[in-house]
């Protein structure tokens, strides 16, 4: 009976008593943070992967919709890379003149170079789906927790295009 009385007392107490120490969702600290140099390095490697793999897809893919997607990836990721470099400016996290590919992206490109025909197309689509899921997560995280206002603005401005790419590639996954 004591337990029931205590439970009822807790249920009937005002929510304000419990919310006194809670922050609103907007004011809450981010779960993860990404340092600007790490964000920039990852984005530049990802952009280079997108551009280089899509250049291959323009000639190696079989389906017209995949080739169209590849052309859009080259255009959009070339633009994003230019915009990120401008946002970084000459600050501490200035963009390298020739960004290096991360080992993961280099290995993915090697796999694509070795593939042909339908195998290439399937691999390209799968890699694009994975790359865009990772990019969307990275951009969302940095947009919410970044420490460089210009780069945060870049992340917020670029995120909708990445989400559009992700939806487009998910359509390719279903179609092929």
pLDDT tens by residue, the chain, 176 residues: 444 344 434 334 444 444 444 444 445 555 678 999 999 999 999 999 999 999 999 999 999 999 999 999 999 999 999 999 999 985 555 566 567 899 999 999 999 999 999 999 999 999 999 999 999 999 999 999 999 999 999 999 999 999 999 999 999 999 99
d(CA 67, CA 121): 10
Global pTM value:
0.79
Task: Residue 52: give its domain's CATH number.
Answer: 1.20.1260.10
Secondary structure class of 176 (helix, strand, coil): coil
Q: Domain count of the chain?
A: 1
In a domain, 23, yes or no: no
In a domain, 146, yes or no: yes
* Residue whose structure tokens are 């922050």: 23
In a domain, 29, yes or no: no
In a domain, 15, yes or no: no
| Contacts of residue 44, Cβ cutoff 8 Å, sequence gap at least 6 | 81, 84, 95, 96, 99
| Structural tokens at position 76 | 């959009």
In a domain, 11, yes or no: no
| Structural tokens at position 160 | 């909708």
Residue 129 lies in domain:
34-90+102-175
In a domain, 21, yes or no: no
In a domain, 73, yes or no: yes
In a domain, 13, yes or no: no
């Amino acid at each position: 009976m004591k337990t029931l009385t205590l439970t009822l007392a807790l249920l009937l107490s005002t929510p304000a008593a419990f919310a006194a120490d809670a922050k609103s969702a907007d004011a809450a600290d981010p779960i993860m943070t990404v340092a600007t140099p790490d964000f920039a390095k990852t984005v530049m490697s990802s952009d280079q992967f997108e551009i280089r793999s899509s250049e291959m897809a323009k000639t190696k893919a079989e389906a017209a919709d995949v080739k169209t997607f590849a052309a859009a990836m080259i255009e959009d990721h070339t633009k994003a890379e230019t915009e990120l470099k401008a946002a970084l400016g000459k600050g501490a996290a200035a963009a390298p003149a020739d960004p290096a590919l991360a080992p993961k992206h280099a290995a993915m490109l090697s796999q694509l170079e070795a593939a042909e025909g339908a195998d290439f197309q399937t691999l390209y689509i799968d890699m694009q789906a994975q790359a865009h899921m990772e990019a969307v997560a990275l951009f969302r995280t940095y947009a919410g927790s970044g420490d460089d206002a210009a780069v945060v603005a870049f992340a917020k401005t670029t995120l909708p295009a990445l989400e559009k790419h992700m939806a487009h590639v998910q359509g390719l996954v279903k179609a092929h």
